[in-house]
Structure 1
Amino acid sequence: MTTIQTSLRLIAAAAAFAAICTQAASAATADPNAKPSVVIVHGAFADGSDWSKVIPILQAKGVKVTAVQNPLTSLADDVAATRRAIAAQPGKVVLVGHSWGGTVITDAGQHDKVASLVYVAAFAPDAGKSTAETGEGYPAAPGSKRFVADAEGFLSLPEAAMREDFAQDVPAAQAAVMTATQGPIQAKAFADKVTSAAWTTKPSWFIVSARDRMIDPGLLRAMAKKINARTTELQASHVPQQSRPADVAKVILDAVAATR
């Protein structure tokens, strides 16, 4: 191959790369005419499939949905994954977080595209506070005493805890699948502090699970009140998205409607 041919190929490759970057930048720019989309952030001991019952309901209403797959290695890593998902949306975003995912959206929700936040049985820390600090002064929920740590400090839930404390209102077979698909979380992540609190500047919705055995329901109610959220209380476990998907979808759709 001649030097000229090599140079031409390098120029072509550079041009192709530049085109890809331009397309990516264009996709990241908000389209003011685009319908609001939903980005869902799962919590600890779960993955994106935890929302498999709610997503079809939202899609049937014409809503674009993206479920983030959190690495669950640190708050910073999960926030970074969430921000990438937000940036990829065509327009405004309703950002939804479950459990630990509430801490993630509290931080990631400062993104310019985020119009509102939906907390589902979730933590909503103050700026400069960690998830662990948010629970101080409230009883430890039964399920929080059943974590199992591996040699590298990642926490998971045994099947009995998943069935009895995490998702006690779903069929046992479903809880078994949730056990198999759960994402272990690095224990140190619970001590990571949020850099800012998006709920101080953006409207919020909050679902309180009255039968929650992973986060004290009293703490959920207190957080919902503190952030001045539009609150819905369900007689459900820690995973209303699994046991009450239609009710959870309704709250998310209310937030979507409010952003139009």
Structure 2
Amino acid sequence: MNGIPVSSPPKHKSTIVLVHGAWTNGSGWRSVHDRLIEKGYSVSVVQQPLTSFEADVAAVARVLAMQAGPVVLVGHCYGGAVITRVGNDPKVRALVYIAAHALEEGETPLGNDRKFVDPASHAGMDVRTTPDGFLYFEPSAYIEDYAADLDSATAHFQAHAQALTALGAFAVPATHPAWKDKPSWYMVAGADRILSPDLERMYGRRARSTMVEIAGASHAVHQSHPQEVVALIEQAAATAAIAP
């Protein structure tokens, strides 16, 4: 029959909502998104403005409100701080942190970064601030520290297409963290030069997350290892589908 094909309904009960981190946008989730769609999941990718923490929380909450069923909320990098807040929504049944901040109440991403300084990283030295308070990386530092295991063309493009991020977004203290009440999964990027792998391990252990570590992975682990990220999300989705 001719005409526009009708898409099949999702095979799985859980909806996956993907939340990006700082200095990037939702396009970084493309490979993860496509694999989840192929497996029959309903997937939404949030595009946060990165202009303030509250604006980013509102953006995720807005997308969450559009979902009909149980949600697995996935955050990368600074997006972890956002899902730690928004994950208290009753629709959220599980949290997945991908090299992300899983804050305790009162903590901030900026404060925790300073406690876990990776001596191999130049990230702190190569971050610049605009006159109106937005952070960005020098392109060479972005390629070396953020996207070290991406192909050169992708890393180069992303380095010159950074989403500048408000400094103030990193300084907002966490409120009651959703991981205290809901199951969580955590992926450590073993060669991360933006977030210390030791900080990531601490987050995962403290939240009693189901943890995996990807040896040699950069901060952009969701792009360089999408298959492993999808496998971790599927574990969370299996739990979310049967949770009350």
Structure 1 residue 136 displacement after superposition: 4.2
Deviations 1:128-157 (A, max 9, x none): 221122334322543233112112111112
Residue 96 of structure 2 is matched in structure 1 by 118
Residue 62 of structure 1 is matched in structure 2 by 40
Residue 69 of structure 2 is matched in structure 1 by 91
2:213 matched to 1:233? Answer: yes
Q: Which runs of 5+ in 2 are unaligned?
A: 1-11
How many residues are treated as equivalent by the alignment? 228
Residue 152 of structure 2 is matched in structure 1 by 172
Alignment CA distance shift 1:171-1:72 (3 Å) = same
1:5-44 matches, cutoff 5 A: 35-44=13-22
Contact 1:149 1:155 in 2 (8 A): yes
Give the whole-Å Cα distance in 2 for the aligned partners of 1:172 and 1:111. Answer: 39
Contact 1:209 1:240 in 2 (8 A): yes
Identify the match of residue 143 of structure 2 among 163, 168, 177: 163
Give the whole-Å Cα distance in 1 for the aligned partners of 2:160 and 2:181. Answer: 38
Give the whole-Å Cα distance in 1 for the aligned partners of 2:55 and 2:236. Answer: 26
One-letter code aligned to 1:243: S
Alignment CA distance shift 1:181-1:66 (3 Å) = farther
TM-score by length of 1: 0.84
Contact 1:159 1:175 in 2 (8 A): no
One-letter code aligned to 2:201: R
Give the whole-Å Cα distance in 2 for the aligned partners of 1:43 and 1:116. Answer: 19
Deviations 1:67-120 (A, max 9, x none): 111111111111111011111111100000000000000011001100010000
Larger radius of gyration: 1
Residue 46 of structure 1 is matched in structure 2 by 24
2:237 matched to 1:259? Answer: no
2:53 matched to 1:75? Answer: yes
Contact 1:206 1:231 in 2 (8 A): yes
Q: Which runs of 4+ in 1 moved over 6 A?
A: none
Give the whole-Å Cα distance in 2 for the aligned partners of 1:232 and 1:172. Answer: 26
Residue 228 of structure 2 is matched in structure 1 by 247
2:205 matched to 1:193? Answer: no
SS in 2 for 1:231: strand
Give the whole-Å Cα distance in 2 for the aligned partners of 1:129 and 1:60. Answer: 38
Contact 2:122 2:141 in 1 (8 A): no
Higher helix residue share:
1
Residue 139 of structure 1 is matched in structure 2 by 117
Residue 199 of structure 2 is matched in structure 1 by 219
Give the whole-Å Cα distance in 2 for the aligned partners of 1:180 and 1:92. Answer: 37
SS in 1 for 2:160: helix
Contact 1:50 1:178 in 2 (8 A): no
